Structure 1
Amino acid sequence: MSASDRQKHQALVVDDEPTIVELLGITLEGMGLEVRACHSLAEAFAALAAGPPSLCLTDLRLGDGSGMQLLQKIRERYPQVPVAVITAYASAEGAVEAMRAGAFDFMTKPIELARLRRLVAEAIALGELPREVEDLSERLVGRSPAMVALRERVRLLGRSNAPVHIRGESGTGKELVAQAIHDASPRRDKAFIAVNCGAIPENLMESEFFGAEKGAYSGAVQRREGLFLAANGGTLFLDEIAELPLTTQVKLLRVLQERVVRPLGGLREIGVDIRLICATHRDLRRMVAEGTFREDLFYRINVVPVEIPPLRERREDIPVLAEALLERLCQRHGRPIASLEAEALAWLSTRDFPGNVRELENLLERALALQSRPLLRREDLELTPTTTAPLPSLPDTPTGADTALAQRLAEAESRYLASLQTRFRERPEELARTLGISLQSLRLRLAQGGPALDS
């Protein structure tokens, strides 16, 4: 953005400390913004009456009131104006409350000028986002009231830096929602990094998250950046955050509070600017009560909760979702677009789908793999669980006391996996989807005596 473009923007700065107002004013004017300085809530209300600013920076504690009152007034009259709050308290409990009420972001005193400039640039960029970043119905498919509300929530969250906690059963599309929030935000051109917390060994978590210097531990032959630094300026999505051990939870909390990371073996802290989105299918409140998840961390990540309903609670979405998934699958496999008979769609709508959208996608992909006709029938879907690849029969040998049933089953499973691996050679992701398990689970199965997995 050029200086002439910035000159169009006006910032409302509210703080009862004259030195803070002066500091903020000098910094923002240096960025080419016009500054309206106010030292009280009354002055801020009067300035607001003259018209909406491009952004507002307000202290939470003012001599004649609270910055929350100003935030609420702006939200009522000018909901498009981003508001960032300033607090002098390291715990930032008031800032978390403000972000739940709709604040764009927060800063703690003493103010770090580099972070202030990033925050202001992001706030200005919000006003320059197109009204509809994209048609979310293309990605978050469904016409049910729950999905309409979810898409609207995603659009609103794109205008905030507030931490988001996504809850939903396995297979509901938590990462898809996180990606949509990122793409609807000013950070959309920066990195979106997704990580499954349950897939990282506990002894590697600190170096994976925060980085490590060369020689920090045995085997550290080069410097490791870490996920927080890799996502700097963008969004970090921590899936299954409930799997984090308590020791890592403590370190994660400090990063969220201080916005700095110290790589393992490092001597200095490095500032980070990320949007954090977390997800889990577990009940974190219950885990807090059981002592397996830190209450203070839960408080920091659960600023804006987002609930994704299971597929069985929005059955009216199943037909349109099935058609959309079928089209994507056909494009992925380079085959003509197939469709579903009305009876097949009606049958799908009666199913509970405990695996949610992922299970529906697996079912459709298996049907496509077994049928070449352009119109899939109900029987094509019903037969898929048993026709993908039959289990080899167990050897016809007597069951003696020296033959363990578990060993025979393991041998049968190994032969079954070997036959499937031949079919899906160099396509481990498709093999995992066909089996209805994760790639990590597949690798574990194969490591336990099965054939080697091509990577």
Structure 2
Amino acid sequence: MQQTVLIIDDEPDIRELLDITISRMGLNTIAVGNVSDAIQALEAHPDINLCLTDIKLPDGSGLEIVRYIQAASICTAVAVLTAYGSTEIAVEALKAGAFDFINKPVSVEQLRNLVKSALKLGRRDTQFDGSSNTRLLGETASIVTLREQIIKLSRSQAPVYISGESGSGKEVVARLIHANGPRSDAPFVPVNCGAIPSELVESEFFGHTKGSFTGAYDHKEGLFEAANGGTLFLDEVADLPLNMQVKLLRAIQEKAVRRIGSNQEIAVDVRILSATHRDLAQAVAAEHFRSDLFYRINVIEVHVPSLRDRSSDIPLLANFMLDKIGREWELSPPKLSDMALTALCEYHFPGNVRELENIIERAATLCENNTIMPDDLSLPSSPQKTKPKESTEEGITSSSHMDAAKGDMESYLATIETQIISEALEANRWNKTESAKMLGVTFRQFRYKLKKYKLDD
């Protein structure tokens, strides 16, 4: 069945150009010039697949059409045409429920890409797809809500900012937004912004031409080109240098990139998802992150809960991980004893799901009789759970620390130090240099501690 696109623009020349371009794609078109005619067309033709509307119309705004479609629960994707540089209006349209936007003057290639992506929505099942290797396991209310959010977000092209602690599953959420959307057959390109040396960031994102700088021995496409048609996931986006943030903002707004050493712009059709464990709003306030880029990538925010906030999911996650280990090792998976399971549920997991996975894999390796006991988990002690120090009248400090340290103070202090170092590594995604800075020690001292406590694996 031929699909239908509703075109709304009060300028006859633009309306005709859009009509001709979309008709040549083998699609049926309906073209009108104002809000009232558009709403009449939507009421008369409930099978319209895509609505492409200008923002400024004689009798109102294209945003009214976006809101009408959302309120009427019509299964029609809607995209808006905005004046060049009207970022605020585009963001407002995306928040209102628009699928995407495109700047005037309209690029024929960008228009075709937008139409193709939007029409794929109507051919996709709205049921949550977690059948691949990427899964979001859990039965708590926060995870159920998160899965519902993923379904809604996957039907939009709005930039999404994913917040949450390290190891909580932000990349899993990003992959599921991609997998459940119209770009699922195109590349998903993740990049850890904090892992790229500052002098190579621009080349990594935009590519370079042969001979454009020392070491550029050949032409190279950047991450935007690699993700063309798909999704670019900017993990730890807060770590981007300020000068790169300006260039990234331009690439997102213009939907085009220019390789280093080239004067030619390359159009790219990329959806941007971003994440960081840091407080991005705080980084903006401290002027470590540009506010204009923040508002551009943070059109919609979704939060991934920490594991300690959904501790009732720990048994489900742990057993899933053990089953996975059994399949990979081609052995009967180890079982968690009741005491080991209790110990896991009482642990605070600063490293979240990633830490749980590491603990389970280590325990499965060390356990005997195919049963994991509490000692096999090697859970660090939790200084956060100890009672605060109290001062006696003589000024001598006493606390639960003293009771725990009796007879073997060195061992107890080593346990605390190990916990602190592990948390610093988790907070900095195992970047040893940044972890050393966080703890105020030299890299040499930090490396010594890693070897001492056997954390340098």
Q: Shorter-chain TM-score: what band? A: 0.7 to 0.9
Name the structure 1 match of 2:65.
70
292-301 or 25-34: bigger deviation: 25-34
Distance 2:130 2:186 in 1: 20
Name the structure 2 match of 1:113.
108
Residues 241 and 135 of structure 1: is their aligned pair in 2 closer, same or farther, counting only changes over 3 Å? Answer: closer
How far residue 375 of structure 1 moved from its aligned partner, in angstroms, is 3.1
Distance 1:303 1:272 in 2: 20
Name the structure 1 match of 2:96.
101
TM-score, normalising length: structure 1? 0.82
Instruction: Note if 1:162 corresponds to 2:158.
Output: yes
- Which of 52, 60, 66 is residue 57 of structure 1 equivalent to? 52
Name the structure 2 match of 1:150.
146
Name the structure 1 match of 2:25.
31
- Which of 207, 214, 230 is residue 210 of structure 2 equivalent to? 214
In the alignment, residue 256 of structure 2 is paired with which amino acid? V
Say which SS state the counterpart of residue 71 (structure 1) adopts.
Answer: helix
Distance 1:242 1:216 in 2: 28
Distance 2:342 2:75 in 1: 42
Distance 2:252 2:21 in 1: 25
In the alignment, residue 188 of structure 2 is paired with which amino acid? F
Name the structure 2 match of 1:20.
14
CA distances 1:330-370 after superposition (whole Å, capped 9, x unpaired): 32333322332333223322221111111111111110110
Name the structure 2 match of 1:41.
35
Distance 1:289 1:83 in 2: 34
- Contact residue 104 and residue 162 of structure 1 kept, 8 A: yes
Identity %: 49
Residues 348 and 15 of structure 1: is their aligned pair in 2 closer, same or farther, counting only changes over 3 Å? Answer: same
351-360 or 336-345: bigger deviation: 336-345
Name the structure 2 match of 1:424.
none
Distance 1:207 1:379 in 2: 48
CA distances 1:273-308 after superposition (whole Å, capped 9, x unpaired): 111111001111111111111010001000111111
In the alignment, residue 122 of structure 2 is paired with which amino acid? G
In the alignment, residue 260 of structure 1 is paired with which amino acid? A
How far residue 136 of structure 1 moved from its aligned partner, in angstroms, is 6.5
How far residue 79 of structure 1 moved from its aligned partner, in angstroms, is 4.4
Distance 1:46 1:230 in 2: 42
Name the structure 1 match of 2:302.
306
In the alignment, residue 30 of structure 1 is paired with which amino acid? R
- Contact residue 84 and residue 105 of structure 2 kept, 8 A: no
- Contact residue 367 and residue 373 of structure 2 kept, 8 A: no
Distance 1:339 1:132 in 2: 33
In the alignment, residue 25 of structure 1 is paired with which amino acid? D
Instruction: Note if 1:293 corresponds to 2:293.
Output: no
Distance 2:58 2:339 in 1: 68
- Consecutive unaligned residues of structure 2, counting only runs of 5 or more, are 382-421, 436-442, 452-457
Distance 2:172 2:361 in 1: 19
Distance 2:283 2:129 in 1: 37
Distance 2:165 2:330 in 1: 31
Distance 2:276 2:429 in 1: 16
Distance 1:339 1:266 in 2: 59
In the alignment, residue 105 of structure 1 is paired with which amino acid? D
Name the structure 2 match of 1:245.
241
* RMSD of aligned residue pairs (Cα, Å): 2.8
Distance 1:190 1:181 in 2: 13
Name the structure 1 match of 2:4.
10
State the number of aligned residues: 400
- Consecutive unaligned residues of structure 1, counting only runs of 5 or more, are 387-431
